[in-house]
Chain A
Amino acid sequence: MSTFSGISTALSALYAQRQALDVTGQNVANANTEGYTRQRVDMNAVGGAVTPARYSTTDGIGSGVTVSGVTRMRDAFLESRGQIEHAKYAYLAGQEEIHARVEEVFNEPSDTGIQSQLSDYWNAWHDVVNQPGDLAARAQLLQRGGTVADSLRSADDALDSLWNSTLTQVDSLVTEVNTAADTISQLNKAIVRATAAGLPANELADERDGLVLRLAELTGATSKSLDNGAVDVYLGGAKLVEGAAFRELKVAGAGSMRDVMADPSNPVALQWKDTGADAGVTSGQLASSLHSLNTVLPEYTARLDEVAGRLAATVNTQHARGYDLNGAAGGDFFTATTGTAITAATITVGIGDPAKVAASSVAPTPRTDGDGNPLPPTGNLDAGNADALAELATAAGGPDRYYREAVTALGVASQAAQRRTAIQATVAQNNDAQRAAQSGVSLDEEMANMLLYQRAYQAASQVINTINSTFDSLFGMIRG
């Protein structure tokens, strides 16, 4: 035990308390920094020499304090729960959003939606019943049929552009995932080096954990901390980031909604860029977008197709049973703009001449000229077929009922998505608050700590002062 060891003990206290004050200052400075984790100085008492040696004696009193490290106060369990809950929330919020957009496309219940237009169309048939010979009533019928077809096509178009914009969004999100994975791997490298050199890398770790959380939100990825300070990020059982290495994702599969509908076995998918294997994204915003692209949007487009198909099939079948103003049998009322399949994307009115609306169900009387040669038939003003067509409005299996079923199914799905999102939002927000409570900076606590460190610093100074004055009296004796 050296004579002056008391001074060095007090000096170690001065160093340690000042460092603690510095960390408190850092905490206060970052009280409102997003993603900042409060830090704590770990202080250890330095014990005396316990192994006696020649010429060395010990009184067993320790020789001060040392700062063994600066730790981030983080609850690993809350953090990993946070990743899972945020991923779920991002998925559900994405589903709520897409359903809300589809609801906007359908725009029901309203006086301008497809249901109202279908009603107007059937009523136009009634008007033709009332005025079979009136070309104005027939022209109005063609216009109303055209309006229904236009609305179906524009709804289909809206769903299609929704699909395309979702795909664009997936592209940019995948870029974000790849960039984040890259940055995480670089941060991992820096952190491992710093840790090996015994330097704190807490701020880097905060930045990296923020990116890991963002990856979780995007893809449902989970993370595992390693002893050397790095984290590995897992995606669907494979490693997205492994230490200083990372893998990239790419978007593959169908390029348009009609492709997905034509071949459901080749959906839009996320694959590993290096192996081309499926990345297994099942949660997070990207999984939600994939679900929208492969299931939600094609489903409602298929329902619109079914409405268009049923409308065309029922009307065309009945229309063919009637006779137009010229006595000719009715042609196809609805046709396809391209190809032969009548879908929501292709439906259009195939009749341009109002006289060709086959309102009559009475076959024209055969006519002959004076010599007994057949003349072209003339039509009549019967409206039995128009009446039968007007009644399709309430037909079982007709387009109206199917359309209402589709809108109801959409409402149920959308409502379920909203409710699930609301519940998950509460869960995720509670987790955020808990994380903020665990790793956030409490100003009260920092103020209290500051007092402690300040007082300890003052006391250590006082110790040096006291030792100094003790020596003063000793030296005074020598001088004296």
Chain B
Amino acid sequence: MTYMRVTERSISTRVLNNLQGNVSRLEELQVRLSGGKQLARPSDSPAGTTSALSLRSDIRTQEQYLRNADDGLGWLGTIDTALTSANSQVNRARELVLQGMSSGAGGSVSARTALATEIEHIRDSLIGVANTTYLGRPVFGGAASGSLAYDENGTHLGQGGEVLRTIGDNTKIAVNSDGEKVFGTGDTQLFKVLTDIADHLRNDPSALGGDLGRLDTAIDAMQTEVADVGARYNRVTQMRDTADARILSLKTQLSDIEDIDLPKTITELTLQQTAYQAALAATARVVQPSLVDFLK
């Protein structure tokens, strides 16, 4: 029977290789533990890296959706407040028209003139409401670059179109209200109706009946828009909550992929330390004795 030849050098080569292997595993675990990441470079897990990159990108996108939604809520909230105020003023105007009509042509001119003046004040105040701005932009002006949606005569200066906010994947929502939809166009445009009413109160009370009809059309249009804005506000709020929940879930997933499992890693580290110490102790025992020790 022959034995494989073993020399001090072959023993120390093997022992050193094994010790090196032990130390490098120990180092790897310590690096992971101190860095808190099990995925520090693409080669640690190519598949995990793909997911980690996508998840990071998704998280940032969702965070942007949150910002977009917050901005949308600002727009819609501003519009809602403006329309609520406009609504009460328009209702007051309607009462005034009814007053003017009930007194009819026989009523006192000065009383009707007073009504007309109040209507004109309401109209000016409504134009002010129609020029409500959010962060410097008129919310009823669409894409127009000016700071006013209506001039003092009630002429529309805005540009149609929707101001869109992306608040979710493939979800865009208009956060403005088109001035022409809210305040009407042509003969039923609110400011023109109010101008006509003021004129008729002074000069031609008999035409007020027709004016009332036109005013009602304008009020209806406005109320439809109020309901619509409220619905959109709710939708943005819901999408915002969705994005919030999604960020939480994405961050959990990212942490699962990238971060170390602390108890597991600490256990592994302890095991590895024990293994290293055992290897050192064994090496010290194995390499020491030699024939030299026994030849006297």
Complex Cα distance, B61 from A448, in Å, reads 77
In the assembled complex, B50 has its CB within 8 A of some CB on chain A: yes
Contact across chains for A410 and B42 when beta carbons are under 8 A apart: yes
In the assembled complex, A383 has its CB within 8 A of some CB on chain B: yes
Q: Considering the complex, give the chain A residue whose CB is closest to the CB of B55.
A: A109
In the assembled complex, A183 has its CB within 8 A of some CB on chain B: no
Give which listed residue, A109, A380, A440, A447, contacts B10 with CB less than 8 A. Answer: A440
In the assembled complex, A103 has its CB within 8 A of some CB on chain B: yes
Digitize B52-69: 1 where CB-to-A-CB distance is under 8 Å, 0 elsewhere: 111011001101100110
Contact across chains for B161 and A109 when beta carbons are under 8 A apart: no
Q: A429-B17, A443-B290 are in contact. Are A383 and B42 (CB under 8 A)?
A: no
Contact across chains for A362 and B291 when beta carbons are under 8 A apart: no
Contact across chains for B8 and A440 when beta carbons are under 8 A apart: yes
In the assembled complex, A457 has its CB within 8 A of some CB on chain B: no
Complex Cα distance, B290 from A115, in Å, reads 61
Q: A126-B68, A383-B163, A411-B42 are in contact. Are A393 and B57 (CB under 8 A)?
A: yes
Residues of A within 8 A of B (CB): 31-32, 99-100, 103-104, 106, 108-109, 111, 115-116, 118-120, 122-123, 126-127, 129-131, 133-134, 325, 360, 362, 365, 378-384, 387, 390-391, 393-394, 400, 403-404, 407-408, 410-412, 414-415, 418, 429, 432-434, 436-438, 440-445, 447-448, 451
Interface residues of B in 241-296 (CB under 8 A from A): 258, 290-292, 295
Q: Considering the complex, give the chain B residue whose CB is closest to the CB of A327.
A: B145
Q: Considering the complex, give the chain B residue whose CB is closest to the CB of A438.
A: B5
Closest 3 CB pairs of A and B: A411-B42, A411-B46, A414-B43
Q: Which residues of B contact A122 (CB under 8 A)?
A: 61, 64
In the assembled complex, B121 has its CB within 8 A of some CB on chain A: no
Q: A109-B49, A109-B258, A126-B64 are in contact. Are A443 and B10 (CB under 8 A)?
A: no
Q: Which residues of A contact B5 (CB under 8 A)?
A: 437-438, 442
In the assembled complex, B6 has its CB within 8 A of some CB on chain A: yes
Most buried by B among A99, A109, A400: A109
Question: Beyond A325-B145, A432-B13, A442-B6: 5 further Cβ-contacts under 8 Å?
Answer: A115-B56, A123-B67, A126-B166, A133-B136, A387-B172
Give which listed residue, B9, B17, B172, contacts A32 with CB less than 8 A. Answer: B9
Contact across chains for A441 and B42 when beta carbons are under 8 A apart: no
Complex Cα distance, B8 from A421, in Å, reads 27
Q: Which residues of A contact B14 (CB under 8 A)?
A: 429, 433
Q: Considering the complex, give the chain A residue whose CB is closest to the CB of B60.
A: A119
Complex Cα distance, B292 from A380, in Å, reads 96
Residues of B within 8 A of A (CB): 4-10, 13-14, 17, 39, 41-47, 49-50, 52-54, 56-57, 60-61, 63-64, 67-68, 71, 135-137, 142-145, 159, 161, 163-166, 169, 172, 258, 290-292, 295
Complex Cα distance, B71 from A380, in Å, reads 19
Q: Considering the complex, give the chain A residue whose CB is closest to the CB of B135.
A: A131
Contact across chains for A109 and B53 when beta carbons are under 8 A apart: yes
SS class, residues of chain A in contact with chain B: helix
Q: A129-B68, A381-B137 are in contact. Are A115 and B41 (CB under 8 A)?
A: no
Contact across chains for B45 and A119 when beta carbons are under 8 A apart: no
Complex Cα distance, B48 from A109, in Å, reads 10
Q: Which residues of A contact B143 (CB under 8 A)?
A: 360, 362, 380-383
Contact across chains for B56 and A116 when beta carbons are under 8 A apart: yes
26 of the cross-chain contacts (CB-CB < 8 Å) are A103-B43, A108-B49, A109-B39, A109-B258, A116-B60, A123-B67, A129-B164, A129-B166, A130-B71, A131-B71, A133-B137, A381-B137, A387-B166, A404-B50, A407-B42, A407-B53, A408-B46, A411-B44, A418-B43, A429-B17, A433-B14, A437-B7, A437-B9, A440-B8, A443-B292, A447-B292
In the complex, what's the smallest C-beta–C-beta distance from A386 to chain B, in angstroms? 10
In the complex, what's the smallest C-beta–C-beta distance from B255 to chain A, in angstroms? 12
Q: Which residues of A contact B291 (CB under 8 A)?
A: 443-444, 447-448
Complex Cα distance, B157 from A378, in Å, reads 14
Contact across chains for A408 and B42 when beta carbons are under 8 A apart: yes
Q: Considering the complex, give the chain A residue whose CB is closest to the CB of B74.
A: A130
In the complex, what's the smallest C-beta–C-beta distance from A408 to chain B, in angstroms? 5
Q: Which residues of B contact A383 (CB under 8 A)?
A: 143, 163-164
Most buried by A among B39, B41, B60: B41
Q: Considering the complex, give the chain A residue whose CB is closest to the CB of B50.
A: A408
Q: Considering the complex, give the chain A residue whose CB is closest to the CB of B293.
A: A447
In the complex, what's the smallest C-beta–C-beta distance from B175 to chain A, in angstroms? 9
In the complex, what's the smallest C-beta–C-beta distance from A242 to chain B, in angstroms? 32
Complex Cα distance, B143 from A109, in Å, reads 40
Q: Considering the complex, give the chain B residue whose CB is closest to the CB of A445.
A: B7
Complex Cα distance, B167 from A390, in Å, reads 12
Contact across chains for B43 and A415 when beta carbons are under 8 A apart: yes
Complex Cα distance, B163 from A387, in Å, reads 10
Contact across chains for A436 and B10 when beta carbons are under 8 A apart: yes
Complex Cα distance, B59 from A309, in Å, reads 25
Complex Cα distance, B61 from A382, in Å, reads 22
In the complex, what's the smallest C-beta–C-beta distance from A136 to chain B, in angstroms? 11
